[in-house]
Amino acid sequence: MVVFSRKGVTMKLKNKLYISFCIMVILPVVLCALAFGGIYYIQKESIERTYNVDSGTGLVGVYSPIILFGRITDNIYEDMKEEVDSDPEQFGNTDYLETLSDELSHKLSSLVVRKNGIIIYNSTNCTNHELLKILPDYSSTEENISDVGTYKGGEYQNLIKQLNFKDEEGNFYSVSIVTSLRQIPPQIKSFIMEVILVIIMVLILTSLGLTLWIYSSIVKPLNKLKLATNNIKEGNMDFEMPKVSNNEIGDVCRDFEDMRVILKQTSEEKLKSDAEEKELIRNISHDLKTPLTAIKGYVEGLRDGIANTPEKQAKYIQTIANKVNDMDKLIDELTIYSRLDTNRVPYTFVKCNVSDYFGDCCEEISTELEASQIELEYNDHITGPAYMNVDPEQLKRVINNIISNSVKYMAEGRQGKITIDLYDEGDYIHAVFSDNGIGIAAKDVEHIFERFYRTDESRNSKRGGSGIGLAIVRKIVEDHKGKIWAESVEGEGTTMHLNLLKAKDDNYNETQEV
């Protein structure tokens, strides 16, 4: 299998290993065969040229040296026969014998001449006694020229070509060409050495090439991966994995890079979470200390008799109750957010009529807003029956948090007003919550749903809060597969948009832990 990428065709690692195995087997054989053929041709030509033998004799000499040694002296042997016919007395001439011996030495052979049974010339390395054991016998009664080719095995291993003749004076001669079969022609020796050298070189080059190929495919990516793991081990999450080829190890390296990115994001989120938790502790400490200080002061006032009239006592007690309610609300927010953040809130989704549900919520809210002298306007623009699958209790928490946030940031000296508009938008129910409060700065609008985020104006004790109210709202809405966002004009007011999915099934009742 190959993978097509923008950079071309990339071979998988398993295919590389398969091909390398085939190359390791086939390539050396092919290269060695080509080298063998080339070297053989060169040495064959050298043998035929040096020893003046027929074409094809060189090949015979590789597997049958005795035939080669027999043929390389054929020309000299024929010349000797002609000399016997024309001038046999020359074989008693030392100068002629020296010249003949020199020619034979170039043919890897030696000359031995016997006259009347006595060795008169010997160019071999053997003694006369040894030659008598090696050389064939000849009959002194023969009057005709005779040539005999004899192989002497055993401990001697010689090939002997012999001429037996008688000169005009009646002397019997036996002229022998002795060729030792224990020797190897230089060309064949060179051929064998060159073949061995070529085989070694082919194996070395093939192994080196395959090693470099596999190294670039396996070892180099593994070294890059090791470098990356060392950086991760040392805490350097910013080290990026170098680019690698598109094979199995490359896939591992890319998976490691994805893991590094996730680890970096997780680490950054952990640092951010730790910072937020520290900020939360500071905020909670401040927000708890403020009502506790007030409660402590009013309790001491009651204990010391400062509230010496029933009216003052009732006012002190009501203030203490209000502060206790604030603390209870703060603790309740922390509890619900902790459960939401760890996905441990069991949602009970039921099918609700949209108009009825929001109408009931607005009726309940209006009573509390009247006490705060804030006007509530509710406009239901839905003309037909519409239903949604929600957890009524958790969605009510969303509405209450949005309304309480609007109440908290109402502008002083201005009649407060909150407007709720309800629309049917196909697959969604769109609820719009608008107020005429102090608004939110443009730089803060996109952050108000982040946990523990607080605008600069919210730090005073009057408007203080945990900074998680709207984070709770977003979490609940997202668990309902809805969407919430804000629009605001600083000094004029804020508008919250809430989209909730409409119900599609006629019967729906499900308890789900998100």
Q: What is the pLDDT of residues 63-93, one digit of tens each?
A: 566 777 777 888 888 888 888 888 888 888 8
Of 231, 266, 291, the domain-final residue: 231
Tell me, yes or no, whether 29 lies in a domain.
yes
Report the pLDDT value the prediction gives residue 463, as an integer from 0 to 100. Answer: 52
Backbone angles phi, psi at 30, to 5 degrees: -65, -50
Q: Is the pLDDT of residue 315 over 90?
A: no
257: left (phi over 0), alpha (psi -120 to 50) or beta: alpha
Pick the range with the lowest mean pLDDT from 270-274, 285-289, 380-384.
Answer: 285-289
- Say whether both 394 and 304 belong to one domain: no
Tell me, yes or no, whether 236 lies in a domain.
no
Average pLDDT over residues 370-397: 91
SS (H, E, C) 453-469: CCCHHHHCCCCCCCCCH
Q: What is the pLDDT of residues 153-186, one digit of tens each?
A: 667 788 888 888 888 888 888 899 988 877 777 7
**How far is Cα 25 from Cα 48, in angstroms, rounded to an integer?**
35
Q: DSSP letter at 502? A: B
Q: Is the pLDDT of residue 435 over 80?
A: yes
- Say whether both 393 and 423 belong to one domain: yes
Tell me, yes or no, whether 139 lies in a domain.
yes
Strand-by-strand arrangement of the 509-513 sheet: 387-390, 346-353, 509-513
- Say whether both 423 and 439 belong to one domain: yes
Report the pLDDT value the prediction gives residue 494, as an integer from 0 to 100. Answer: 94
**How far is Cα 171 from Cα 166, in angstroms, rounded to an integer?**
5
Find the CATH number of the domain harbouring 492: 3.30.565.10
Tell me, yes or no, whether 329 lies in a domain.
yes
Q: What is the pLDDT of residues 107-144, one digit of tens each?
A: 888 999 998 888 899 988 888 888 878 888 776 545 45
- Say whether both 443 and 351 belong to one domain: yes
The alpha carbon of residue 111 and the mean position of all alpha carbons in its chain are separated, in whole angstroms, by 76
Joined together, the tokens standing for residue 428 give 């969604």
Q: Is the pLDDT of residue 513 over 60?
A: no
**How far is Cα 418 from Cα 254, in angstroms, rounded to an integer?**
53
- Say whether both 353 and 487 belong to one domain: yes
**Domain containing 199: what range?**
2-49+188-231
Report the pLDDT value the prediction gives residue 136, as an integer from 0 to 100. Answer: 81
**How far is Cα 71 from Cα 348, in angstroms, rounded to an integer?**
109
Task: Say if CB 472 and CB 329 are below 8 A apart.
Answer: no
Using pLDDT thresholds of 50, 70 and 90, give the confidence band for residue 508.
very low
How many C-beta atoms surround the C-beta of residue 259 within 10 A?
13
Using pLDDT thresholds of 50, 70 and 90, give the confidence band for residue 212.
confident
- Say whether both 263 and 130 belong to one domain: no
Average pLDDT over residues 487-508: 84
429: nearest Cα among 477, 486, 394, 471: 477
Packing angle, helices 13-51 and 186-214, rounded to 10 = 170
Tell me, yes or no, whether 227 lies in a domain.
yes
Joined together, the tokens standing for residue 100 give 């003949």
Q: Is the pLDDT of residue 1 over 50?
A: no
Structural domains counted in the chain: 4
Q: Is the pLDDT of residue 329 over 60?
A: yes
Task: Say if CB 421 and CB 432 are below 8 A apart.
Answer: yes
Task: Say if CB 68 and CB 181 are below 8 A apart.
Answer: no
**How far is Cα 263 from Cα 268, in angstroms, rounded to an integer?**
8
- Say whether both 383 and 495 belong to one domain: yes
Q: Is the pLDDT of residue 277 over 50?
A: yes
Q: Is the pLDDT of residue 96 over 80?
A: yes
Average pLDDT over residues 211-220: 73
Report the pLDDT value the prediction gives residue 434, as an integer from 0 to 100. Answer: 95
Share of the chain above pLDDT 70, in %: 82
- Say whether both 334 and 360 belong to one domain: no
Across 80-90, b (16+ Cβ under 10 Å) vs e yields beebbeeebeb
Tell me, yes or no, whether 59 lies in a domain.
no
Q: What is the pLDDT of residues 390-425, one digit of tens each?
A: 999 999 989 999 998 899 888 888 899 999 999 999
**How far is Cα 236 from Cα 480, in angstroms, rounded to an integer?**
39
